[in-house]
A and B are shown apart, each in its own frame.
Chain A
Amino acid sequence: MLKSKRPRRMIRGGMALSGCMAALALLGTVWTPYSPTAMSGAEKFAPPSWVHWFGTDQFGRDIFSRVACGVGTTFFIALGTVLIGAVLGILIGAVTGYFGGWIDEALMRLNDALTAFPSILLALVFIALLGFGKYNVILALGVAFIPSYARVVRTEFARHREMTYVRSARLMGASHGRIMLRHILPNTTQVLLPALVIGFNNAVLAEAGMSYLGIGVKAPDVSLGYMLSESQGYMMTAPWYVLCTGAVIVLLILGASLVGEGLQERRGQ
């Protein structure tokens, strides 16, 4: 059909965009045009120029340098969140879907409870216990993301459990662990991959929302979400601050979602 080239184009475009963002993030860890924390009273709220590409913020810090750092933190948080959520979610989903029975019941109840538990309270528990900081945001979001992965994986495993290739593997004496890991899991990647990419985006958005509520990343750390929530306080006096930060967030999410969509459409064909 006519559409067949579309998914590939989306994936390629998304990869290119995400690549740029990743490059910016990596750049931010090794080199930035200015120190992201160096303040300058004389240059408060300087508009974008050749000297400061994205302008400066309320402390006269170079916004481009901070955005570069922030992308790094945001990438780190989003990846960490997806990692925790996915690893635990896959584990729970695989076990419950494959074995069924009482394990399934018990873990799924816990899963339901976690879904229904307000994630804000969850986040606050981690922050009150461990303090603010990117690791705690990762932990809080990661735990909150478990149920969504667990549910997807569980359905897949329950579906594959009864398929002939699994039955024959079992007849040939493969252990449960081996079947789950080597036989079923590779077959679920088509479903899992887009879910992971979407999870990445949700993590970026969730981090921004948490920062806005004052329970996300805080001052010594810089993340895109933190910068966005901070910059909106100066929206009327320094619009470039909010626009530059917002644009980078949108591009970051757009890149990942193009990849995710592409993957999903390719599966659909």
Chain B
Amino acid sequence: MRYAAKKLAMMLLTMVIVSFLAFLAFQIIPGDPTARLLGADATTESVAALRAELGLDRPFFARYGAWMQGALRGDFGRSYSYAMPVSELLAGKIGITALLTAVSFLLIVLVSLPTGVLLCARERPGLDRAANAVNQIIMAVPPFFTGILMTLVFGLMLRWFVPGSFVSPSEDFWRSTAYLFFPALAIALPRIAMTVKMLRASVRGELDKDYVRTAYSRGNSRWQALYRHVLRNAVVPTVAFLAMAAADLVAGSVVIEQVFSVPGLGRLLLTSIANRDYPVVQAIVVILALWVVLVNGGADLLNQRLDPRLRLS
């Protein structure tokens, strides 16, 4: 219990640091949101007036404090460029990115675990080498390029989906999910390759251990040994790895959203940075960071449940 409380406090602290850093970032980079709102030709007086209206003329810490107070109440302010409340703006986008992340995580789990286990089930050097080569190549292609190739092959040649025809999940959930399949696959592919590699390595490591030899000597087949004994132990590092993958899936979606024209959080983040729309950027940074912190925290807890040895520390 004390451990959990401490963990929670640390997460909170991390979030405060992240939000502070994001706030600081906009303090130091050039570019003024008023230039976007009033146009580049605005008079100095009207710029000053608008800065006062937006509270941009107040000292840095006062502004951060005010933002913090609002954020704690769930009020992230108004978007400068879209002239609407940030929460309203984000409400529509979070769902899209969450769906994309969920689909790609599902793909990672559903593809990599069976593949990894099957590859280990029998010692076949040829298959092994082929799998290894495929794995290496998948990991060597930049994700945005995978995305473009997929659009080309599955979108334009095979016509399995229509590139650029995204509809919001709120409009038509299943069509939206179907469209997100390929973007999700593009994000998932390198992580599937890594997970398979990871799983194979840890299964191999376990197979060489004494208890497996004992299992063999008792007359267990390789499959039985694998299934009854090895997997249980090999799965621990894999679960940790999957959690880490889940944490950076959202970051990976920024690029892929651009390739597939998916209007999610990542694209909104890019536009808002370009427009110096601080309230929006600040809120997205907090959401993305919260996701990473929560998933990592969850992974820690899960690891401890799965591996009793870690509980002591």
Contact = CB atoms under 8 A, between A and B. Distances in A.
Interface of A: 109-110, 112-113, 115-122, 124-125, 128-129, 201, 205, 208-209, 212-213, 225, 228-229, 232, 235, 246, 249-250, 253-254, 257-258, 261, 264, 268
A118 B142 contact: no
B204 A268 contact: yes
A209 B31 contact: no
Contacts of B293: 112, 116
A124 B269 CA distance: 11
A125 B273 CA distance: 10
Contacts of A254: 136-137, 140
A212 B258 contact: yes
B63 to A, nearest CB: 18
B139 A109 contact: no
Contacts of A208: 142, 144-145
Contacts of A124: 29, 273
B141 A213 contact: no
Interface string B27-44: 011110000000000000
Interface in B11-41: 13-15, 17-18, 21-22, 25, 28-31
A152 to B, nearest CB: 13
Given A118-B288, A213-B254, 18 more contacts: A113-B17, A113-B289, A116-B18, A117-B18, A117-B22, A118-B251, A121-B22, A121-B25, A121-B281, A205-B142, A208-B142, A212-B258, A229-B144, A246-B145, A249-B140, A254-B136, A254-B140, A257-B140
25 contacts: A113-B14, A115-B296, A116-B292, A117-B22, A118-B254, A118-B285, A121-B25, A121-B273, A124-B273, A125-B28, A208-B142, A209-B144, A212-B144, A213-B254, A213-B258, A213-B270, A228-B142, A229-B144, A232-B148, A235-B148, A235-B152, A254-B140, A257-B139, A257-B140, A268-B201
A118 B269 contact: yes
A129 B14 contact: no
B30 A116 contact: no
Nearest to A265: B201
A129 B29 contact: yes
B264 to A, nearest CB: 13
B54 interface: no
A201 B205 CA distance: 25
Contacts of A129: 28-30
A74 B25 CA distance: 27
B14 A112 contact: yes
Nearest to A225: B142
A209 B143 contact: yes
Contact of A209 (B14, B22, B255): B255
A120 B142 contact: no
A257 B136 contact: yes
A120 B273 CA distance: 10
Nearest to B129: A6
A55 B18 CA distance: 47
A205 B269 CA distance: 21
A128 B21 CA distance: 16
B29 A116 contact: no
B24 to A, nearest CB: 9
B142 A125 contact: no
A99 B152 CA distance: 53
Contacts of B296: 112, 115
B133 to A, nearest CB: 9
A176 B286 CA distance: 38
Nearest to B17: A113
A107 B18 CA distance: 14
A257 B144 CA distance: 20
Given A116-B289, A235-B148, A212 B142 contact: yes
B269 A120 contact: yes
Nearest to A256: B140
B48 interface: no
Interface in B172-217: 201, 204-205
B62 to A, nearest CB: 22
